[in-house]
Structure 1
């Protein structure tokens, strides 16, 4: 059972926004000194960027953590044409605004395909995928997915408008949080269900859904539908972090094993006795690796 110290969770030090060339506003949250090493954090499903990770290690590692709200989540304007690639383009424009040529990137859960799309565009110096969603439509997963998830991947490909309507009809933040808990193993419930993490996670979801369920639904359509990513173009060093007790049916059914084979620079970190909350339970190791320091 994992217990995070209170200092591991706190509200952002800064909240900012920028109007993109498309005319859409993109918002983000920050922790750490503005002159520190930038690390971009792409959040999980339905989450605004208000819940960071490794907050208690940022000063030691000289890290500035930057967590964007994807379009339609939090304070970012919606984008009815959102795809994995379009979000990557938005983030590239944000990096240009921040005068960052290349950034180390951490991605959790549903943030993974968005991070891979970004890495394929050549602006990522180092990438950590943590308990990441895989390309669930791949044939290799047919027998590993629950039937409901398998049907969702098929509908996302064949009937995207119906898929969006289905998600928008039931998704709301409190119910989503309870769903996450119900699908989690005991090691993960001990993280997600404890204070102050529980309240911070619920707040990130409340902020994520502040404009309604559309942002979450379009993220999920992009992530569960056919991936518009050239994985062969990814050249940056990359680690895939997975726990064997991660019970989420929408992460990677084989804990990143087949994904690692598709990515020529990927190294897999697998912890058989840990869950999916590695982003927070192993935050220091993940951040140390992203900023080029040896993991102890």
Structure 2
């Protein structure tokens, strides 16, 4: 085990009404408080977090592959609202009462879409991507990211086709390592963790790049919901040493003002990898809300 990472206790797939399946992986207490995990960009279901504390906290962690990634069937043209619908069916099929959601990095807009639909009882966004189209970020964006946002807005279908030509697991690994601070490199390049992370990326691209590129378009496009209308409690977790160009440019400050029931946690000593360095703190806060 490295930084709370170990192989899943159980792998599964759940059928959806339209004939597709959602693949998932489970860790922790089989009858524990259910927490769905929406991982970062192109990451498959095998990379969880907090495996060393789940049993003690009484958490059943379920990582879910988004459509077209890993073990989940594709859904061409899907939207963030479609994802919320998929999660509603998954929760019904798995009989998950009062579940929480943790959304890491690019998983954040997918977690917030579910919150906007009123599905979970509580959400934790960790090192999350923000709505980068918001005017508040116009002067804060990395130029390369600003160019991607413009390309998505101008021609989303053309962007998908073009970006898919070079997208693969190795590209994603280089991107993550190339934009990480020293604090995060200490986690990501630790041999056991790096092996688990790279395996998850290989899983994410198992069906090709289409699933990841669709995620990118949804995350970089205009979100179909207003964060200001989210009534579900949301914890926003960021590390002061998070240097990712695609995470929130202000470490969640603007998001915390827009989401009424949010709490912002800025850990000055942590990086974007705080999901793995502060898992117990993140889960304990989420559980405090879930169990009220």
Task: Give me the TM-score of the superposition, normalised by structure 2.
Answer: 0.96
Mapping of 1:1-16 within 5 angstroms? 6=2, 8-16=4-12
Corresponding residue number in structure 1 for 2:111: 115
CA-to-aligned-CA distance 1:37-72 (integer Å, 9 cap, x gap):
111111000011110010100110011100100000
Consecutive unaligned residues in structure 1, runs of 5 or more = none
The 1:78–1:293 alpha-carbon spacing in structure 2 relative to 1, beyond 3 Å, is closer
C-alpha contact (below 8 Å) 1:137/1:154 kept by paired residues? no
C-alpha contact (below 8 Å) 2:98/2:120 kept by paired residues? yes
C-alpha contact (below 8 Å) 2:5/2:193 kept by paired residues? yes
From 246, 266, 271, the equivalent of 1:270 is 266
Consecutive unaligned residues in structure 2, runs of 5 or more = none
Corresponding residue number in structure 1 for 2:15: 19
Corresponding residue number in structure 2 for 1:177: 173
Moved over 3 A (4+): none
Q: Distance in 2 between matches of 1:153 and 1:293?
A: 35
Deviation of residue 25 (structure 1)?
A: 1.1
CA-to-aligned-CA distance 1:59-104 (integer Å, 9 cap, x gap):
1001110010000000101110211111111011100001113311
Corresponding residue number in structure 1 for 2:129: 133
Deviation of residue 11 (structure 1)?
A: 0.8
Q: Distance in 2 between matches of 1:189 and 1:41?
A: 22
Corresponding residue number in structure 2 for 1:217: 213
From 244, 247, 270, the equivalent of 1:248 is 244
From 186, 190, 202, the equivalent of 1:190 is 186
From 76, 99, 103, the equivalent of 1:80 is 76
Deviation of residue 293 (structure 1)?
A: 7.8
Q: Distance in 1 between matches of 2:69 and 2:3?
A: 26
Question: What SS does the aligned partner of 2:191 have?
Answer: coil
Task: Give me the TM-score of the superposition, normalised by structure 1.
Answer: 0.95
From 36, 44, 49, the equivalent of 1:48 is 44
Q: Distance in 1 between matches of 2:174 and 2:147?
A: 22
C-alpha contact (below 8 Å) 1:117/1:230 kept by paired residues? no
C-alpha contact (below 8 Å) 1:185/1:247 kept by paired residues? yes
1:106 equivalent in alignment to 2:105: no
| RMSD (Å), alpha carbons | 1.4
Larger mean Cα displacement after TM superposition, 80-89 or 68-77: 80-89
Deviation of residue 24 (structure 1)?
A: 1.1
